[in-house]
């Protein structure tokens, strides 16, 4: 499941970014529905255009995240659907944006909800982090607490 989700995220992200680069001009917007449009933006920094011009440096943490996740997966430490799915989404997003940074020196952003422009990789990273935190901070402690409770029949 891990490699399937990871591959799907990278493929969808790169296909969407390719479509934007081929079909749109930088700065062009295409209205989709009220409050949402596609806007082609080249982000040479990090999220929110912070660290503008230093985007290639973010390839290093992306590689470290990939190595960490594959190591933990191979050691059997990514147990459960949420943890594996979350890690796969996070890693897939990191790879998707790293590909752009290595090839172009910037990331193709295009999802414009009126409060910043992002891409599928960004949302995969966010959703992956939410799933990992949900598993580790909510579900795992609840299961552990339930397992420690004495059962009286």
Tens of pLDDT, residue by residue over 81-104, are 999 999 999 999 999 999 999 999
65 domain residue, yes or no: yes
Give the chain as a DSSP string. -HHHHHHHHHHHHHHHHHHHHHH--TT-EEEEETTEEEEEEEESSSGGGTTTT-GGGGHHHHHHHHHHHHHHHHTT-S-SHHHHHHHHHHHHHHHHHHHHHHHHSSEEEEEE-SS-EE-HHHHHHHHHHHHHHHIIIIIHHHHHHHHHS----
142 has pLDDT over 90: no
Positions marked catalytic: 109, 122
- Band of pLDDT at residue 47, cut at 50, 70 and 90: low
pTM of the model: 0.85
Q: What pLDDT, on the 0 to 100 scale, is given for residue 63?
A: 85
Percent of the chain with pLDDT over 70: 88
- Band of pLDDT at residue 45, cut at 50, 70 and 90: low
Range with top average pLDDT, 17-21, 41-45, 139-143: 17-21
132 domain residue, yes or no: yes
42 has pLDDT over 70: yes
pLDDT in tens, 56-78: 666 778 888 889 899 988 898 88
115 domain residue, yes or no: yes
**Total domain count, the chain:** 1
Q: Which domain holds residue 65?
A: 2-143
- Which pair of tokens denotes residue 42? 């080249």
Q: What pLDDT, on the 0 to 100 scale, is given for residue 86?
A: 95
96 domain residue, yes or no: yes
51 has pLDDT over 60: no
């Amino acid at each position: 499941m891990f490699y399937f989700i990871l591959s799907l995220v990278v493929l969808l992200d790169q296909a969407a970014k390719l479509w934007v680069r081929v079909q749109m001009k930088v700065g062009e917007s295409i209205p989709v529905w009220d409050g949402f449009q596609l806007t082609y933006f080249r982000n040479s920094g990090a999220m929110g255009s912070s660290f503008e011009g230093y985007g290639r440096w973010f390839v290093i943490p992306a590689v470290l995240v990939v190595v960490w996740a594959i190591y933990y997966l191979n050691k059997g430490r990514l147990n459960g659907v949420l943890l594996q799915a979350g890690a796969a989404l996070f890693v897939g997003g990191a790879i998707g944006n790293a590909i752009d940074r290595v090839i172009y020196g910037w990331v193709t952003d295009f999802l414009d909800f009126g409060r910043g422009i992002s891409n599928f990789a960004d949302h995969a990273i966010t959703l992956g982090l939410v799933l990992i935190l949900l598993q580790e901070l909510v579900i795992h402690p609840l299961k552990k607490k339930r397992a420690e409770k004495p059962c009286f029949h």
